[in-house]
Amino acid sequence: MVVEEVELRRVRLPLVRPFVTAAGASVARDALLVRLMTDEGEGWGECVAMAEPGYTSEYVEAAQHVLHHHLVPLLLASRRVAADDVARVLGPVQGHPMAKAALETAVLDAELRAEGRSLAERLGAVRAEVDCGVAVGMAPSLGALLDEVGGYLDQGYRRIKLKVHPGADLDPVRAVRERFGDVPLQVDANGSYRTQDWPLLAALDPFDLLLVEQPLPPEDLLGSAQVARRIRTPVCLDESITSAAAAATALAVGACSVVNVKPGRVGGLLEAVRVHAVCLAAGVPVWCGGMLETGLGRAANLALAALPGFTLPGDLSGSDRYFSRDLTAPFVPVAGRLPVPSGPGLGVVPDPDALAELTTSVVVLRP
């Protein structure tokens, strides 16, 4: 497949409610899309980097810069490329996994569309639909939190995830358990605890949580292993898992017993499949995390989440959870499940009218 042109397109999707992170509150998703034109057709990818470097060191402006000036030129210089070659071709550039993942997805989409095969088939999916979970951010009050959780359960979501940190953990978990009983429930600490805080995490053990996600900072695998030995709630790693090798190391030292897989964080869908293989061989369950993806990224995540080791509901909510208008046809859960796209490639394409309305800039690169 010969790459003839790469388009970097920025789009701005208003959010139905502000998205609050450590870097502040966002009222829109500033997303970077990659459109690849080849001698056999086109392909699309989405970079999941956020507007600010609060979640990881990557952010959307930097991702566009490295794609424009470093990654895309390498791909164009290779001329003929297959999806399995992308990681090697981009290897001279250190880091930037989210930018690399977007480019790899676009190559996969183009390649599979030309073959008439779905991404789900290519990755090894074994189910036609996946269970949906939802992540609930910090609420202004326990009453507001309970109302929000109740609304999601009424919509059929099959798992609730609460954001927690020291001093704001026991009360929300207790309140949700008391109101909603044995609903599948987990918490996400985003690395806010330290090893010596393990008694705070142990206090959550009586609430029968599915897991506590990323309790310690990403680099502290030994601390995570100490915490995992001291609490009954399973420890899940997210930001710590940057590759299949990192997953193998984390499992070897006992730092976790569950893994969250995000394709952008590990550098692409193919590496995400390798992370899944490591965990599957070790008997460790995995689930698919979310990054405010548009319909393009959501379609890719659904294909990944249909692999056999993804036995826990992921952060795979419907389009209306974040956007009043998505770039693709909206994803709408039915009875708490979303169908895995079965068409060629990603199985979805951007709506031209939505692109026209939401695009803020376009850069076209050629050999």
| Residues acting as catalytic residues | 163, 262
DSSP 69: I
Place of tokens 């293989």: 277
Q: Tell me how far apart the alpha carbons of residues 2 and 9 are, in angstroms, rounded to a whole number.
A: 21
Q: How far is CA 139 from CA 147, 226, 318, in A?
A: 10, 30, 20
User: Of all helices (H) and strands (E), which one includes residue 281?
Assistant: helix 269-282
DSSP 70: I
Pick from 222, 213, 211: which is nearest to 191 by CA? 213
Token representation of residue 294: 């548009």
CB distance 146 to 152 below 8 Å: no
> Amino acid identity, residue 59?
Y
CB distance 38 to 2 below 8 Å: yes
* Distant-in-sequence, close-in-space partners of 144: CB < 8 Å, separation ≥ 6: none
Q: Tell me how far apart the alpha carbons of residues 219 and 211 are, in angstroms, rounded to a whole number.
A: 19
